[in-house]
Amino acid sequence: MIPVTQTWSAEAAARYRSKGYWRGETFGAFLRARAQATPDAVAIVCGARRWTYADFDRDSDAFAAGLLDLGLRAGDRAIVQLPNIGEYFIIVFGLFKAGILPIFALPGHRSAEITHFAEKGEAAAHIVAAGQGFDYCALAHDVRGRVPGLSHVVTVGAAGAGEVGYDDLLRAAPRDLPARDPAGVAFLQLSGGSTGLSKLIPRSHDDYIYTLRESARICGLTAADTLMIALPAAHNFPMSSPGSLSAFYVGARVVLAPSPSPDACLPLIARERVTMTSLVPPVALLWLSAAEAGQHDLSSLRVIQIGGAKLAPEVARRIRPVLGCTLQQVFGMAEGLVNYTALDDDEETIVTTQGRPISPDDEILIVDDDGRDVAPGEAGHLLTRGPYTIRAYHNDDGANARAFTADGFYRTGDIVLRRADGALVVQGRAGDHINRAGEKISAEEIEDHLLAHPQVFDAAVVSIPDEFLGERSCAFVIPRGDKPKAAALKAWIRQRGLAEFKVPDQVVFVERFTETAVGKISRKALRAHLRATLGPEAG
């Protein structure tokens, strides 16, 4: 098994410690401290169910013991693929305490993606929930059948044959769990997948807890807050910016929403007196329309974080008047770097920028195509290095060679400019990925699947601006022989076991890609050319 490590230089690690960023805390230990300080405070609200900090700590201890009783060991990996339910947090902290590394899959992932994570991460377990509409247990059995070493399927809810029940694991006898190494990797996040398949991102207790502490401070999150998780809980944004884990870090209350829709969330805000939540821009648009209808009491809302994709200033401007709360823009990435506008920034800065980095030691480079610094205020490629930005993906030398410079800067793939006051403004992406409502799609990944279809000669997938989603995907396809139906190609992508958001929104058949394009210029140039050919009916 390839050990999961993170590779800051000894010099950088010593500096981050001496500056007090990395404090030697661990997830299990901070939860224990909260449970001792405020055992009866409510930590998790899921529908009518509630877990206090004492319940949370006790159940996650028991779950950790249950996993170890099953034969799992510290250093093993477990894919966690759960909807927004309270058990999700018990499981994640149970894994942290046992030293088993969660791989944070999303409910939308299907067999192609889960198989890839299981293989790359050498996962020993897949944790799913039964009775969720989609049959996750069948998915888990399917993947287990293909990936040697993936021995355990753990099910929340009714466990079927060959599965282990969450409730059964909770009945394990408590055992002494050794303290975890704060410098060690705590979990694997997933990359937005700018080229090819998502990569695994190792994050350490030290580096991640630093972002939790600082995010809570920058967002004004305290034990008095009630934070609602409306986006998928395992995504880095609702997990840590400031997200559920910052909320637990400060002893606040976390309310889970089953979906980000206004129908699910607005009544919940009123019922639970939610003070803070995070959204992606398309969801914010839906909330604005629903809130304008004015039936819900949103007076408890203090701050709303919006990020994951570019928020149009015209939409940003409506947040305060319509939702009655402060907007905080968040520009972040699972690899590390997170930027926030400040709660007390002037309205223009809040509305038109994506904020400033969390850490004084977040190093920011903005360079041209040749790697030279651009003039102040000009747009260029954003590179970054710092106390919570990774230096390498797990088990992926090819991706590491592309994504990191020799001196450890991460190439974000984003084009940004920096104002004189340090605030960043995101201009777009350099690479060919589609940011569909905050969900990232790699053009290359979808092209590979299209090319596997017998009636596809060649394919190029591009983004098209979309008023609601921000961007949607369009596949240009040169047919081989009989032209397939667009619907058949979409069905093909689904059938290949890909998440629904990756199915092209539109398919355009063409006879050829321009002469010069074929084989003579890069795929990137070809995609740019095709994007430019889209008429108004396509856009």
Q: Min. distance of Cβ 239 from ligand OOB in angstroms?
A: 8
Between CA 462 and CA 49 the distance in angstroms is 44
Residue nearest to ligand OOB (CB): 332
Tokens 């099953």 correspond to what residue?
70
Which position among 157, 182, 308, 497 is part of the footprint of ligand OOB (CB under 6 A)? 308
Q: Please, which of residues 178-207 interact with ligand OOB by CB under 6 A?
A: 192
Site string for ligand OOB, 212-241 (x = CB under 6 A): ------------------------xx---x
Which position among 81, 115, 195, 329 is part of the footprint of ligand OOB (CB under 6 A)? 329
Q: Which is nearer to ligand OOB, 409 or 513 (CB)?
A: 409
Decide the pairing of beta strands 125-129 and 253-256: unpaired
Q: Min. distance of Cβ 335 from ligand OOB in angstroms?
A: 7
- Cα dihedral: 108, 109, 110, 113 (round 10): 160
Which of the ranges 15-23, 155-163, 406-414, 525-533 carries the binding residues for ligand OOB, by CB under 6 A?
A: 406-414
Kindly state whether residue 463 participates in binding ligand OOB, applying the rule CB under 6 A: no
Q: Please, which of residues 338-377 interact with ligand OOB by CB under 6 A?
A: 338, 354
Instruction: Report DSSP letters for 274-338, one per residue.
Output: --EEEE-HHHHHHHHHHHHH--S--TT--EEEEESSPPPHHHHHHHHHHH-SEEEEEEEETTEEE
Of all helices (H) and strands (E), which one includes residue 359? none
Which of the ranges 23-31, 296-304, 308-316, 531-539 carries the binding residues for ligand OOB, by CB under 6 A?
A: 308-316
Q: Min. distance of Cβ 339 from ligand OOB in angstroms?
A: 8
Let me know how long the chain is.
539
Q: Tell me, what DSSP letter sits at residue 404?
A: B
Cis peptide before 202 (omega within 30 of 0): no
How many helical (H) and strand (E) elements, i.e. helices and strands, does the chain have? 18, 25
Tokens of 360: 């004084």
Q: Tell me, what DSSP letter sits at residue 387?
A: T
Kindly state whether residue 126 participates in binding ligand OOB, applying the rule CB under 6 A: no
Q: Min. distance of Cβ 309 from ligand OOB in angstroms?
A: 5
Which position among 334, 456, 498, 499 is part of the footprint of ligand OOB (CB under 6 A)? 334
Q: Min. distance of Cβ 286 from ligand OOB in angstroms?
A: 18
Classify residue 178 as exposed, middle or buried by CB count within 10 Å of its CB (0-12, 13-18, 19+). Answer: exposed
Residues in contact with ligand OOB by CB under 6 A are: 192, 236-237, 241, 307-310, 329-334, 338, 354, 412-414, 426, 429, 435, 438, 440
